[in-house]
Amino acid sequence: MTALNPAGWRPEMNAGGADDSTTFTGNRALMLEEPLLFEIGSTETTGVDFDEDVAAADLGPLARSAPIGLPGLSESETVRHYTRLSRQNYAIDLGLFPLGSCTMKHNPRLNEKVARMPGFADVHPLQPQETVQGAYAVIHELAEWLVTLTGMHAVAMSPKAGAHGELCGVLCIKAALAARGEDRRVLLVPESAHGTNPATAAFAGFTVEDIPANAEGRVDLAALEERLGPDVAGVMITNPNTCGLFERDLKAISDAVHAAGGYIYCDGANFNAIVGRVRPGDLGVDAMHINLHKTFSTPHGGGGPGSGPVVLSAALAPFAPLPFVTKDGDRFRLIEEENAGEAHPDSFGRMTAFHGQMGMFTRALAYILSHGADGLKQVSEDAVINANYVLRSLEDVLEAPFAASGPCMHEALFSDKGLAEGFSTLDIAKGLIDEGYHPMTVYFPLVVHGAMLIEPTETESKAVLDQFIGALRSIALRAKNGDPALKSAPHFAPRARLDETLAARKPVLRWEG
């Protein structure tokens, strides 16, 4: 949909004829077309009035020497611009977000209320330690919960997100091997692992080798055991894996890897499926990051960096990064580099300038305390039930490659097998937009052709799931029957289907007037 340029308007355009089928504004009822700020405002004006007697000389070095090139808008124009743009966006507050592996659950407003309390919202990382005892107490208590829930020995709180946490865990493994005087250079990454794992391993200086999946979509244990040797530093595994399946052989895998002198890194992106039910430490995991925005329902990004604490086994805990919070009696201290020798001499160093993201910590602890241990157990149970409800409700119209091997965990996985000739996963995803839904994760995991990965989470009701299932069933049947209209979907979105190949190869990232 392209808006007509008001500057080019002519009287005959509203006088009937061919132009009758096109709106003058480009708007469609309450779906408002929104131009760029540069097209609304003018670089020759400003939305703020200044006293006429203020001369450039009065501004000293702050005075501009050349035009700034930014458009001037009034307050109402600015507010309307961003409000209209927000109406063209999809959000968890609008509806179900079925992205697989992302755990896009509802964020309880209680968490937000606590994060905005004075002393949390306005805390500064450079404050004297005696003025932030409450913040340290929150970090310390959250750390204790994470260690308890995972059955691990310690936790590094500073990593800012999942991939950052992966790097933290891998660097701990690297430091532990160096302390043993070993130079192992290979990390094994199963096909069913999270997609960022190979990149993290390579970034840390390791060579990555794949381990195939078996017919059930799980790690091929025999292939892994055959590859183990003195050059293998460890295995990066995801459990539940990216096919939405629990790795039943994880204890056998960890036993074999430990016997060969390696370590187990477990990607914790899918911890929401097992929290309160399974402790990764009991399965032999040495390091695992936890996405607080996923399992413990803090917003993705959280108004700044995310948060990916890394829990560690006793074998890796001595190598954790700085800084960390420790408790002495009823007081808390932040152990920094200058005094690390007294308690943490083998740390591999520092990953970030400051100790994590306070807003994410506060939201996560509020979520944990509001649920309690029993409530967190119900979280994972409900997430698994919802995913299996989606799986069994759609397996007759969409091929579910691993449905025969038993229940899934928190994600339902489908493929594009069985669609009409020329129709693909992309057509189903675009069709969902016309039904008012953000598409599911598509073409991931790579082990399934035309993959469609759906994670409903535990926060969606049966009524919400029934509506989503009905919409997806309808689109799937249209794709199986070869409905040509589906090839050009979406039809009702603010923009029509993009040429994704051209957009990736020749992106337009700059406005030119």
For residues 253 and 274, state if they share a domain.
Answer: yes
Number of compact structural domains in the chain = 4
**For the chain, what's the residue count?**
513
pLDDT at residue 345 in the model: 82
Q: What is the tens place of the pLDDT at every residue in 108-140? A: 999 999 999 988 889 998 999 999 999 999 999
Domain membership flag for residue 434: yes
Which pair of tokens denotes residue 206? 């390791």
pTM for the model: 0.89
pLDDT at residue 457 in the model: 96
For residues 230 and 176, state if they share a domain.
Answer: yes
Domain membership flag for residue 127: no
Map tokens 């413990």 to a residue: 296
Rounded Cα distance, 463 and 95, in Å: 12
For residues 396 and 340, state if they share a domain.
Answer: no
Q: Angle at which helices 462-480 and 358-394 pack, to 10 degrees? A: 50
Categorize the per-residue pLDDT at 69 as very low, low, confident or very high, splitting at 50, 70 and 90. confident
For residues 404 and 310, state if they share a domain.
Answer: no
pLDDT at residue 5 in the model: 42
Residue 163 sits in a domain whose CATH number is 3.40.640.10
pLDDT at residue 8 in the model: 44
For residues 233 and 343, state if they share a domain.
Answer: yes
Per-residue pLDDT at 20 exceeds 60:
no
What's the whole-number average pLDDT of the chain? 90
For residues 242 and 160, state if they share a domain.
Answer: yes
For residues 29 and 49, state if they share a domain.
Answer: no
Rounded Cα distance, 376 and 382, in Å: 10
Query: Mean of the pLDDT values across residues 230-252?
Result: 96
Number of separate helices (H) and strands (E) present in the chain:
13, 12
Q: What is the tens place of the pLDDT at every residue in 462-487? A: 999 999 999 999 999 999 999 999 99
Domain membership flag for residue 395: yes
Residue 437 sits in a domain whose CATH number is 3.90.1150.10
Instruction: Note down the domain range covering 145.
Output: 132-367
Which pair of tokens denotes residue 31? 């779906």
Rounded Cα distance, 438 and 432, in Å: 7
User: 363, 302 in Cβ contact below 8 A?
Assistant: yes
Domain membership flag for residue 513: no
Query: Mean of the pLDDT values across residues 1-11?
Result: 42
For residues 191 and 322, state if they share a domain.
Answer: yes
Rounded Cα distance, 110 and 401, in Å: 39
Rounded Cα distance, 251 and 280, in Å: 9
User: How many other C-beta atoms are found inside a 10 Å radius of the C-beta of residue 230?
Assistant: 11
Cα-atom radius of gyration of the chain, to the nearest Å?
27
Q: What is the tens place of the pLDDT at every residue in 378-427? A: 999 999 999 999 999 999 999 999 999 899 999 999 999 999 999 999 99
For residues 52 and 149, state if they share a domain.
Answer: no
Domain membership flag for residue 116: no
Return the DSSP state at 117. S
Query: Mean of the pLDDT values across residues 191-217?
Result: 93
pLDDT at residue 452 in the model: 98
**Which of 339, 367, 395 marks a domain boundary?**
367
User: 384, 401 in Cβ contact below 8 A?
Assistant: no
Categorize the per-residue pLDDT at 343 as very low, low, confident or very high, splitting at 50, 70 and 90. low
For residues 58 and 29, state if they share a domain.
Answer: no
Q: What is the tens place of the pLDDT at every residue in 279-314? A: 999 999 999 999 999 999 888 866 566 899 999 999
For residues 299 and 150, state if they share a domain.
Answer: yes
Q: 49 versus 436: which is more confidently predicted? A: 436
User: 115, 304 in Cβ contact below 8 A?
Assistant: no
**Which of 367, 388, 413 marks a domain boundary?**
367
Domain membership flag for residue 107: no
Domain membership flag for residue 124: no
Per-residue pLDDT at 171 exceeds 90:
yes
For residues 291 and 245, state if they share a domain.
Answer: yes
